[in-house]
Chains A and B, each alone.
Chain A
Amino acid sequence: MSEASQERRMDERTLVLRAQDGDVDAFEVLIDRHQSALLRLASATLRNRADAEDVVQETLLTAWRRLHLLQDPDAFRSWLLQICARRSTDVVRRSARRGTDPLAPEDFPEQPGVGGSVGAVGSGSGGANAGGHGDPFDAVVVDAQMRTLRQLLDGLEASQRECWVLREIDGLGYAEIASALDLPESTVRGRLARARAHIIARMEEWR
C-alpha cells in the first residue's frame, strides 16, 4: 500500500502531527477532509461562490504556512474554521471599503458547473430571498434538499449566519466562536439566540 493511500485511513491527530513533520501527503488528506466545511462557512458569510472558494484556498494555504505554530494538534479543525471566519470577514470589509456591495447579486456571474444550480434556486425559492441569486449558500445547499433550511435562514444577517453555522453545523463552542470572530462571548450568545428565535419563528409561520 502506498504512503498516500495509508494516510487516507489515518486519524486527524496523526495527520496533523505528520503534516507538521513535513509530510505533504498528510496535509493533502486534511485538505480533502476539511474543504467542504470551510466552503460551508465561507458561503454563510459571502454571497459569491468564487469568493468563498478563494477564501477556502487562502485558509488552507495559510494553515500550511503556519502549521508549525499550532501547539495542539487536536485543535486543528477549530483553528482552520477560525482562519476561514476571519478571512471571510476581511473580504466583506474590503468590499465595503471599496464601496462595492459584496452582497449585490448582479455582481456575481454564474459559475461554471454552479450557475445552473444557482439559477434553479433563484427561480425555485419562490422569491423568498430577493438576493438569493448568486448566493453560494444557496448554491451549496441547492442539491441538498435542504431548501427548507435555506429559507429558514433567509433574513438572518451574515454575521448571525456565520455564528449559527459555526455553532449548529460545525459544533464549535461559544468561546471558540468568540475567538474565531474576535467577538465577546456574550455577543456570540446574543447572535445565536436571535438566529435560533428567527428560525423557530419561520418554522412556526410555515406550519
Chain B
Amino acid sequence: MGDNIKIIENATCTFCGCVCDDMHLTVDLDEKKITKAKNACVLGRAWFAQHGIPDYPQATIGGKEASVEDAVEEAAQILAEAKFPIIYGLSDTTCEAQRHAVAIADLIHGCIDTTTSVCHGPSGIAFQGVGESTATLGEVKNRADFIMYWGGNPAESHPRHFTRYAVTTKGLYTPNGKKDRTVVLVDVRKTPSAPVADIFLSVKPGRDFELAWALRALVKGRKLDPSIEQVTGVSLATLEDLVDRMKNCRYGVLFFGMGLTMTRGRHFNSGAVLALTTDLNEFTHFVAKPVRGHGNVTGADNVLSWQTGYPFGVNFSRGFPRFNPGEFTTVDTLARGDADAALIIASDPASNFPRKAIEHLGAIPVIALDTKQTQTTNLARVAFITATYGINTAGTVYRMDDVPITLRKAFDSPYPTDEEILTAIRRRVQALCGGPAVPLRKVS
C-alpha cells in the first residue's frame, strides 16, 4: 500500500439496483485502487476491488490498437452510413452519458434500447397497462409490516436489500425491524433468500400468472375451487391465509423479480401482480416494486422516457420517437437481422443474448464501450475501454425506486468516460448527418 491514501465517505456502489450510497472507501491513489469498501456487500466488495486500472488499449479498430480520435471517426462513419443502426446497453453508465446516447439515436434515425428490454421490460409494458402503486425504499423501511418477494432472489442478487432497505432494518413505524414485519417469499425453488421468509410458497414453474390471478380473486371475495392447488402448487388454505394477511396489514409491499418477467406470461405476470397490488388498496395501503438489476438501468428508463416519451425499445427512423417492444427491442432487431450496425454501451449482449441474436451481432459492424474486455468488445469493429462510473467518474444514477443519487469519483482513470466518448461521437455524427448541434454548457 502506498502512502497516498484517500478516504471517501458517502460513496455509491453502482453494482446492483440498490445503489447503496453509504460506502466508505479507502483509496490508494498511487496504486490507483480501492483497498477497502466498508459497508459494501459481497458483490460491492468485488465491484470496488476489481475495478483498478486495466492494461488494455484505450481504443481498438478491427482488434488493432488505435487512437481515440480515429476510433471516434470510424464509429461515427459506421453509424452515419448505416440504414438501421441500433444503440443498446446503457444500464451501467451515468445519465449524463445516456442523454448523449439518445441524442445520437435521434441524429442517426436509429433504434435505442436498453437492458431493460431483457430484464423488466415486461414490467414496463405492464406498467403502461395497469399503472403501479409504489414507493421509495425508505417508505418500506419506515412503514412496511408485510413484505412479499416474488420471483426474485435478493440474497444473491441484491445482498443488502434485506438489511438496508426492507426486512431487518428499523424505521419510523417499524422500530423493531424484522419483528414488526411478516416476510413472504414466492419462488419455484428454495433460493438462498428463503431463510429470511416467515412463509415460503413454492409455485409451480410457469404458473405465476395463475397464482396472482387466484390471489386477485380471493382479494375480491370470490370463491375458488381447491383444485387451484393442482394448478399453482399452493393450497387454497395457504392462499386464503396469505390474502387475509395482505388485506389486514398496515403497509404492504410486493417486490417482484425476473422470475415473473422472463418466464411464460412475461408482462401478463407483471401486470397481474401490479393489478393485485392495486386491488389491495381497497383494504389497506399496498405498494409494489420491480427489483431492478443493474446500477443505473432505472436511470436509462427515466432518460429515455423524458427525452422520447417511452422507456425502451424506441426507434427514430421517421424522425420522431416510436415505441414498439418486439419490433424495436434489441433481441428482435438482431435476431430478425434488421440491424446493420450496433453501438453497445456498458453491456455484453454477445455473452448473454440468445444465440441467434449473437450470431447477427457477429455479422455487422459493432462499436462497443466497456470498462473491461468482454465477448462484445472482442467481436466489435471499434472498441473503447472507458472509465468506470462511480469509481473513476461522477454523474447521476437512479436507484431501483427512481431516487437519483450523485456519484463520487474515487480516483482518476487514464481512460475516457462514456460521456466523453459519446459526446465526441455525437459531434462527429452531427457533422456527418446534420441535425441539432450539441449544446454547449453555458453558465451565467
The answer to whether A and B assemble together is no
